[in-house]
Structure 1
Amino acid sequence: MNDMQDMPPGAVRADVWLWAARFFKTRSLAKQAIDGGKVDVNGSGCKPAKTLHMGDRVALTRGEERLEVVIVALSQTRGPAPVAQGLYRETEASAAAREAARAQRRLGAAGLLRPPTRPDKQARRQIQRFKDGQT
């Protein structure tokens, strides 16, 4: 019998919920993230088949982004983004930490001096000569 049909009412597999909430593009990517230790449920690691319930706290890492959400609703189907965003609520601490990290990345890139425009043909040739070691 199918794994999804064996679930008790009010419970969803972790990999299915992460996919339905649009944290990952495919269910297999959600499974890989869980297996890689990028997802914690209620402060401890989990397996892809772990059942999630409303009120559970899920902490996940995607690239440099660290999210902590509380499950508000359960779904086994992937729907439109506004519906998926209604499945969870991000904690205030998580939102503040993400905003601080975003500001830090912006400040880090502020020291990078970029030219006001793209180089023209003559400037591109000068750049190429400089890279090639010619004067």
Structure 2
Amino acid sequence: MASDEGIPRIDSWIWSVRLTKTRSAAATACRGGHVRVNGERVKPAHGVRVGDEVRLRHAGRERIVVVTRLVRKRVGAPVAAECFVDNSPPPPPREEVPVIAHRDRGAGRPTKRDRREIEQLRGR
């Protein structure tokens, strides 16, 4: 199917529009069953057409995109954003990183006041 000149391979298209960092990662995702085109699992050589819905599970998140433009070579981020419509659910909110008490090396033993501040930061 992908031997047609005008139809790019799905692994190449996923890499070209920057959904994965490398083409080999895109091909591995296809082989592992993490890529679906119009609801069907596909191999890396499957052809992609305008209007296809591509679902990609990558980095613990599912991306759902509709193909609007075919590209064969990797393009810049602004151009890549024009090649698909992103219908993905919003990513889960990031958890806040707690503040870690830090003392400079060689600062000596903490004073009673320093110790109380450290304990308060730790929530004790």
TM > 0.5 between the two?
yes
Any stretches of 5+ residues in structure 1 without a counterpart?
127-135
Partner of 1:120: 103
| TM-score between the two structures when normalised by the length of structure 2 | 0.75
Is the contact made by 1:72 and 1:86 (CA closer than 8 Å) also made in structure 2?
Answer: yes
2:90 pairs, out of 76, 98, 110, with 98
Identity over aligned residues, as a percent? 32
More helix by share: 1
User: CA offsets per residue over residues 15-46 of structure 1, 9 Å max, x none?
Assistant: 11011111112211110011011110000100
For the pair 1:33 / 2:29, whether they are aligned, the reply is: yes
Any stretches of 5+ residues in structure 2 without a counterpart?
116-124
Paired residue total: 106
3-state SS of paired residue (1:30): helix
2:73 pairs, out of 69, 72, 77, with 77
Q: CA RMSD in A?
A: 2.2
